């Protein structure tokens, strides 16, 4: 019987690539999404992956959604906290709603989602929690105090969580992607995109599938000695 994996924000962009890669690796995958019903329906039709709709910033919705997945598919053994949003502005122009929205969706959601599966993972003696952070959570980015804070928080979250889960066979790790060639990134003006690529030593954007392969690696049974780590995948743009 294949292991059950849940990917938040799992029907578009990097999340869609992660969901597909896990399925291809033999996992039974459930992809969460928040709002785009049309995109989710097309993803389900194209991939055969089950989709579930709820807002990851809502604690009760996360508990209910995960309970439904476990009822439908079985105990969740791999959780990929990928869902995220941006609300960019300098601090002078950022209002509290912009701050709250990003912190709630990009950081608090890690608690909401992980809380629903953590005790079960510990009891069964196996689990993988993987949080998708960002290069801007590692180095910071002007105009993104909310996003950078949330994504840095993702890294701190897995460092602490790893210490709680290690003796139970449950690992927690983060991946910090650089600029990845999603539809959103490729849609920026050509001159802006050229400036972004000029800062990347390998000379190109990353591909969603490159992040997805790293998730499959960290999710594997054989990755049990890797925990509390952050894997930076950014083409050499920022080296730690």
User: Which positions are annotated as active-site residues?
Assistant: 147
d(CA 9, CA 24): 18
d(CA 10, CA 36): 11
The SS3 of residue 11 is: coil
Q: Which of left, alpha, beta for 175 (phi over 0: left; psi -120 to 50: alpha)?
A: beta
| CA-angle at 107, arms to 223 and 186, nearest 5° | 85
d(CA 73, CA 123): 18
**Across-strand partners of 233?**
177
CB distance 125 to 169 below 8 Å: yes
- Residue 66: which residues within 8 A CB-CB, separation 6 or more? 6, 76, 113, 116, 117
CB distance 148 to 89 below 8 Å: no
């Amino acid at each position: 019987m294949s292991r059950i994996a849940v990917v938040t924000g799992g029907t578009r962009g990097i999340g869609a690539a992660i969901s597909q890669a896990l399925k291809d690796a033999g996992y039974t995958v459930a992809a969460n999404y928040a709002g785009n019903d049309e995109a989710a329906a097309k993803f389900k039709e194209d991939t055969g992956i089950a989709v579930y709709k709820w807002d990851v910033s809502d604690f009760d919705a996360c508990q209910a959604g995960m309970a439904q997945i476990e009822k439908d598919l079985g105990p969740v053994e791999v959780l990929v906290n990928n869902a995220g949003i941006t609300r960019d502005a300098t601090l002078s122009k950022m209002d509290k709603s912009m701050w709250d929205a990003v912190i709630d969706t990009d950081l608090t959601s890690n608690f909401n989602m992980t809380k629903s599966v953590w005790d079960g993972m510990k009891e069964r003696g196996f689990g993988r929690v993987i949080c998708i952070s960002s290069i801007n959570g590692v180095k910071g980015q002007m105009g993104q105090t909310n996003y950078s804070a949330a994504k840095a928080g993702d890294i701190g979250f897995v460092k602490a969580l790893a210490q709680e889960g290690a003796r139970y066979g449950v690992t927690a790790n983060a991946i910090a992607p650089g600029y990845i060639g999603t539809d959103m990134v490729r849609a920026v003006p050509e001159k802006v995109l050229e400036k972004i690529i000029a800062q990347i030593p390998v000379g190109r954007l990353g591909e969603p599938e490159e992040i997805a392969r790293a998730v499959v690696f960290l999710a594997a049974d054989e990755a049990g000695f890797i925990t509390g780590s952050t894997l930076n995948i950014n083409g050499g743009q920022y080296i730690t």
